[in-house]
Amino acid sequence: MNIENESLYEKKYIDVDGINTCYIEAGEGEPLVLIHGGGAGANGYGNWFACLPLFAKSFRTIAVDMVGFGLTDSPDPSDFEYSQKARYEHIANFIKKMGLEKVNLVGNSMGGATAMGVAVEYPELCERLILMGSAGLNTELDIAALKPVLGYDYTKEGMIRLIKVLTNDSFQITSEMIDYRHANSVDPKNEASYAATMDWVRKAGGLFYEEDYIASVQQKTLVVNGKDDQVVPLSSAHKFLELMDNSWGYIMPHCGHWAMIEYPDDFSSAVSAFIKSH
């Protein structure tokens, strides 16, 4: 599956407490909700395009655009706080509005922290939790290494630098991927919401929960991490496993922050096997 094949999926919309929310779906069976990360140009399709057809073989797979991202509404920051609570409340309400009783939640990076919030605050909605390169721990970032991410300049060259930081050294970056994510990043609808989201993260001192909060996750949880992830280091995966009582780990070699794009077959197989065997 190539990133330019977005037209294969019908964009659907549902009103979630006044937020027109975009999602795509494929497959039948147990519901699997995919939550993208918070990087520039991120949305449901762009993060999960390679995994969607793989997961759809076994599950009703739903990739949703978080509030302020993709084609989901971007409320005016003067009236809306782009906090972590706002994101997990939006996803929890999305699950309810979709009429889904209990889902498996897969979250990457910011999406992982969002999924975790749903699992803790709305345990009745979350059957199993999969965290991939997940935010949520109060760790010190390598500011120098992450400069292309934190200081993204909205140019195509800047997008190339950003993707290089988020992937392994041998990952082949296509022109289609650069064009797709860059176009999303400069969409005027999302510029203000993205700035507000990053501003909230900076003021909060990061995207994290207290360790007692993380330890309160009761769902069976799979923690996936790339060995070469520069955003969420391997030590974070170990800490999640230490804190969460019902957790398993899957560590991927030669892999950065985008396991679902770098190694979609490996990632999808590991997640599918976890869901089916637990």
Q: Which pLDDT does position 148 carry in this prediction? A: 84
Reported as a single tens digit per residue, the pLDDT across 65-110 is: 999 999 999 999 999 999 999 999 999 999 999 999 899 999 999 9
CATH number at residue 108: 3.40.50.1820
Q: How many domains does the chain divide into?
A: 1
| Residue span of the structural domain in which 39 resides | 3-277
Choose the catalytic residue: 65, 182, 193, 229. Answer: 229
Can you tell me the distance from the alpha carbon of 233 to that of 252, in angstroms, rounded to the nearest whole number?
12
65 is catalytic: no
Q: Per-residue pLDDT for the chain (278 aa), expressed as one digit of tens each? A: 688 889 999 999 999 999 999 999 999 999 999 999 998 899 999 999 999 999 999 999 999 999 999 999 999 999 999 999 999 999 999 999 999 989 999 999 999 999 999 999 999 999 999 999 999 999 877 777 778 887 789 999 999 999 999 999 999 999 999 999 999 999 988 888 988 998 898 888 888 999 999 999 999 999 999 999 999 999 999 999 999 999 999 999 999 999 999 999 999 999 999 999 99
Choose the catalytic residue: 73, 90, 109, 134. Answer: 109
Q: pTM, whole model, 2 decimals? A: 0.96
Reported as a single tens digit per residue, the pLDDT across 11-23 is: 999 999 999 999 9
Torsion 167-180-208-272 (CA) sign: negative
278 is catalytic: no
169 is catalytic: no
% pLDDT > 90, the chain: 86
